[in-house]
A and B are shown apart, each in its own frame.
Chain A
Amino acid sequence: MTYEDKLRPQSSSMLRITGGKVYDPANDIHGEIRDICISNGRIVADVAGGRTIDATGMIVFPGGVDVHTHVAGAALNFARAMIPEDHRRHPPYVRNERHRGGIGGATPTTYVTGYLYAGMGWTTVNEAAVPILSARHTHEELRDTPIVDKSCCVLMANNEILLDLLEAGEIERARHVAAWQIWAAKAYGVKAVNPGGVAAWKWGKDAKELFEPVPGYHKVTPAQIITALAGIVDDLGLPHPLHLHCNNLGAPGNYKTTLETMKVLEGKRAHLAHLQYHAYGGDDWFTMRSKSAEVADYFNAHPNFTTDAGAVLFGDTVTITADGPWQHLLYKLTGRKWGNLDVENETGCGIVPYVYKEKNLVNAVQWAVGLELLLLINDPWRIFLTTDHPNGAAFWRYPEILQLLMDVNFRREQLKKLPPKALKRIVLPELDRQYTLSEIAVITSAGPARALGLPHKGHLGIGADADVAIFNDSKDIARMFAYPRYVIKGGEVVLEEGEIRQIVQGRGFVVQPVYDKKIEDYIRPLFQQYYTVSFDNYPVEMERLENPDIRPCKPGEGNSRTE
Chain B
Amino acid sequence: MNMTRLTLKGPPPVPLEAEVLSPDVIASLRHDALAALPVFLGKRQRRLDDFFTIEGDGSDHLEIHGDMERVKWIGRGMTRGQITIIGNAGMHLGAFMKGGTIEVHGNAADWVGAEMTGGLIHIHGDAGGQIGAAYRGSLSGMNGGVILIEGSAGTEIGMRMRRGLLAVKGPVRDFAGLQMKGGTLFLLGGAELRTGAWMVRGTIVCLKPLTLLPTFNYACTYKPVFLRLYTRRLKELGFSVPSQLDVGSYRRYSGDAAVPGKGEILVGQP
Contacts and interface: CB of A to CB of B under 8 A. Distances in A.
B243 interface: no
A82 interface: yes
A97 to B, nearest CB: 14
Contacts of A82: 137
Which of A83, A84, A85, A86 has the most C-beta atoms of chain B within 10 angstroms of its own C-beta?
A: A85
A524 interface: no
A333 to B, nearest CB: 16
Contacts of A84: 135-138
Contacts of B138: 84-85, 88
Interface residues of A, number: 7
B29 interface: no
B220 interface: no
A82 B138 CA distance: 10
A82 B137 CA distance: 7
Interface residues of B, number: 5
B139 interface: yes
A85 B136 CA distance: 7
Nearest to B134: A85
Interface in B121-135: 135
A505 to B, nearest CB: 25
Contacts of B135: 84-85, 88
Chain A contact residues, majority secondary structure: helix
A336 B139 CA distance: 9
Nearest to A101: B43
Interface string A76-100: 0000001111101000000000000
Contacts of B136: 84-85
Interface in A432-475: none
B121 to A, nearest CB: 20
A218 to B, nearest CB: 43
A82 B136 CA distance: 9
B17 to A, nearest CB: 12
Interface in B91-146: 135-139
Contacts of A85: 135-139
B256 to A, nearest CB: 16
Interface string B133-165: 001111100000000000000000000000000
Contacts of A86: 137
Contacts of A88: 135, 138
A82 B139 CA distance: 12
A102 to B, nearest CB: 14
A83 B136 CA distance: 9
A85 B141 CA distance: 11
A176 B225 CA distance: 78
B140 to A, nearest CB: 10
B134 to A, nearest CB: 8
A86 B135 CA distance: 11
A429 B176 CA distance: 51
Nearest to A86: B137
Which of B136, B137, B138 has the most C-beta atoms of chain A within 10 angstroms of its own C-beta?
A: B137
A462 B137 CA distance: 50
A88 B140 CA distance: 14
A493 to B, nearest CB: 28
A336 B179 CA distance: 13
Contacts of B139: 85, 336
A235 B139 CA distance: 50
Contacts of A83: 137
A86 B137 CA distance: 8
A92 to B, nearest CB: 12
Nearest to A87: B137
B6 to A, nearest CB: 25
Nearest to A83: B137
A33 to B, nearest CB: 45
A85 B134 CA distance: 9
Nearest to B136: A84
A272 B137 CA distance: 34
A139 to B, nearest CB: 28
A88 B138 CA distance: 10
A315 to B, nearest CB: 15
Nearest to A355: B139
B142 to A, nearest CB: 15
B39 to A, nearest CB: 15
B76 to A, nearest CB: 12
A441 B137 CA distance: 39
Nearest to B140: A85
Nearest to B138: A85
Nearest to B45: A94
A94 B115 CA distance: 24
A69 B223 CA distance: 59
A523 to B, nearest CB: 41
A281 B137 CA distance: 34
Which of A82, A83, A86, A88 has the most C-beta atoms of chain B within 10 angstroms of its own C-beta?
A: A88
Interface in A284-316: none
15 contacts: A82-B137, A83-B137, A84-B135, A84-B136, A84-B137, A84-B138, A85-B135, A85-B136, A85-B137, A85-B138, A85-B139, A86-B137, A88-B135, A88-B138, A336-B139
4 closest A-B pairs by beta carbon, nearest first, are: A84-B137, A85-B137, A85-B138, A84-B136
Interface of B: 135-139
Given A85-B139, A88-B135, 13 more contacts: A82-B137, A83-B137, A84-B135, A84-B136, A84-B137, A84-B138, A85-B135, A85-B136, A85-B137, A85-B138, A86-B137, A88-B138, A336-B139
